[in-house]
Amino acid sequence: MALLVTEHVNSKLGGIRTTISIFVDPLKYLVSLPTTIVEQLADSATTYRALKAENERLREEQLIHQTRLLKFAALEKENIRLRALLENSFKLGEQVLVAELLSVNMAPYEHILVVNKGTRFGVHPQQPVLDANGVVGQVFRALPFTSEIMLITDPNHAIPVQVNRNGLLTIAVGSGQLNRLILPFLPSNADIRPGDLLITSGLGGTFPQGYPVAVVDEFTAQPNKAFATITATPKALLDRNRELMIVWSKSVPVPLIAKPTVSEEGAPDVVK
């Protein structure tokens, strides 16, 4: 039996785990059933009036976003053109899958969520996961029917980020608290201040570039140490979300001089 533990160090047991998970995963759905039922009841209990108001609000929002997107498309084109001038390549087009959270608690001292989409939907480990406000984390383990997502605030998680204001590169490490990230690798004279937005830098290859991660909320220079202590608050609502987006970023960058018709279309989305 100790053999099994040592065997797993080679991590060749993924297949066995997948097989076993087929028996165990129904339990996760079973456990999260009460929450789902309550939510659906709450949904069906909303009045016609409230629904109509919400519908109207959403339509307005959609209109605003649509107009913004029009502008965005033009900007994107321009960006590609400018990058082509700079002989730089540009990544775009991301496919998104909406996954719903299962209300399951696996390990209280780790920040790991379980969602209801697994390898059957093509989810694979190390995929970035986002919500409407920012980066949530990455897929940590994908099983046939569920997958486990490690949040950016997990103590074992680090994400390469960039200060949006001046492009300063660094790494944000999880603190173990749901509302805090730590930036341990910046010197005391770094150009960073409270309120700065941190976005993904795209280094490391896991996270696509340019998604908001966190806002710096405290910067303390420590004269007697090499690095300053900087903390940041994640933008994503890590503990209040039920719907997450799993992202497939296109691994092949658009060629230098893009054929505009092809790059325009984006990915054949599940949900865009």
Partner 1 sequence: MSLNNDIGFFRVLLTIILAMCLRIAPLTGDWALLNPDWVLLVLIYWSLYLPERVGIFHAWIFGLLTDVLLGRMLGQYALAYSLIIYVCLKLHKRLRQFPLLQQGLFIFFCLLLSQILLFFIKNLQHPAQLQASFWLPVFTGTFSWPLVYGLLSFVSMFRRIKQ
Please report, as ranges, the residues that interact with partner 1 according to CB under 8 A.
1-2, 4-5, 7-8, 13, 16-17, 20-21, 23-24, 27-28, 30-32, 35, 103-109, 112, 140-141, 148, 155-156
Q: What are the structure tokens assigned to 144, written together?
A: 């046939």
Cβ contact 228:187 at 8 Å: yes
To partner 1, the closest distance from the beta carbon of 59 in angstroms equals: 34
Q: What is the C-alpha to C-alpha distance for residues 221 and 189, in angstroms, rounded to an integer?
A: 8
To partner 1, the closest distance from the beta carbon of 137 in angstroms equals: 14
Q: Is 205 strand, coil or helix? A: coil
CB nearer to partner 1: give 14 or 204: 14
To partner 1, the closest distance from the beta carbon of 4 in angstroms equals: 3
To partner 1, the closest distance from the beta carbon of 267 in angstroms equals: 30
Cβ contact 245:98 at 8 Å: yes
Q: Quick one: DSSP state of residue 93?
A: -
The phi-psi region of residue 37 (left if phi > 0; otherwise alpha if psi is between -120 and 50; otherwise beta) is alpha
To partner 1, the closest distance from the beta carbon of 109 in angstroms equals: 6
CB nearer to partner 1: give 33 or 51: 33
CB nearer to partner 1: give 107 or 226: 107
Q: Which of 98, 95, 156 is nearest to 131 (CA)?
A: 98
CB nearer to partner 1: give 30 or 69: 30
Residue 190 burial (CB count, 10 A): 18
CB nearer to partner 1: give 46 or 126: 126
